[in-house]
Each structure stands twice: as structure tokens, then as C-alpha cells.
Amino acid sequence: MQITDIKIRKFFDEGPMKAIVSVTFDDCLAVHDIKVIYARDRYFIVMPSRKNPDGSYRDIVHPINADFRASLEEAVIDAYHVQLVAAEHDAQADEDAVVI
């Protein structure tokens, strides 16, 4: 199974959650609401989950093995950084633009 697309749906400036991401696999399956978290001096992802009646959370979808989790996490975090830099560059370009 190959990751064929990663879209950063929303960025967050405040708090540990930095982004919400959608990932497409083999151009056939999309997983939405993967969260990019920055805590304890590192980035990691949290899979989409649902709140149970007892207040705990259960993942709706998740990697089955550590190797796939690591490759998914690396791809998502890399895409987050690339799109964050692009968004910052676009914002800087807008500030530098001269309005006549």
C-alpha cells in the first residue's frame, strides 16, 4: 500500500495540535482527521478516533505494525513541514507585495 497524497487540511498556531491531515492510499482510500501533534519536543501523529460512552477514545483506523506506523508518521510530518514552509513563504510574499 502506497501513500499517494497527503493534504494538510488545517494548521494550528496555538497548543500541541499543529495540523489536521488527510492521507490517500493507492489513489483508492482516504483517511481523514489524522492529527499532527508537537509535544515533549517531538512531532507525532494521532489517528482518527471516536469517544466511547465511558469517556475513553478508540481509534477508528490505525496502522497494524510499527514499520508502517513509522513510515506513515514520517511521510505525514514531512508533508506538514513542507506545506508549513510554503504557507509561511506565501504569507511573507503577501506582506512584501506593494499595493498601489
Q: What is the CATH number of the domain that holds 50?
A: 3.30.1120.40
- At residue 55, the pLDDT reads 95
Assessment of whether the complete model's pTM goes beyond 0.95: no
pLDDT-derived band of residue 23, with 50, 70 and 90 as boundaries?
very high
Cα–Cα dist 32/89, whole Å: 26
Q: Which domain holds residue 76?
A: 3-96
> Residue 17 CB: number of other CB atoms within 10 A?
15
pLDDT-derived band of residue 22, with 50, 70 and 90 as boundaries?
very high
- At residue 36, the pLDDT reads 98
Does 94 or 81 have the greater pLDDT score?
Answer: 81
Structural domain count, the chain = 1
Return the C-alpha cell found at 30: 482516504
Give residues with Cβ within 8 angstroms of 79, minimum separation 6.
6, 8, 21
In tens, the pLDDT along 71-91 reads 999 999 999 999 999 888 877
95 DSSP assignment: H
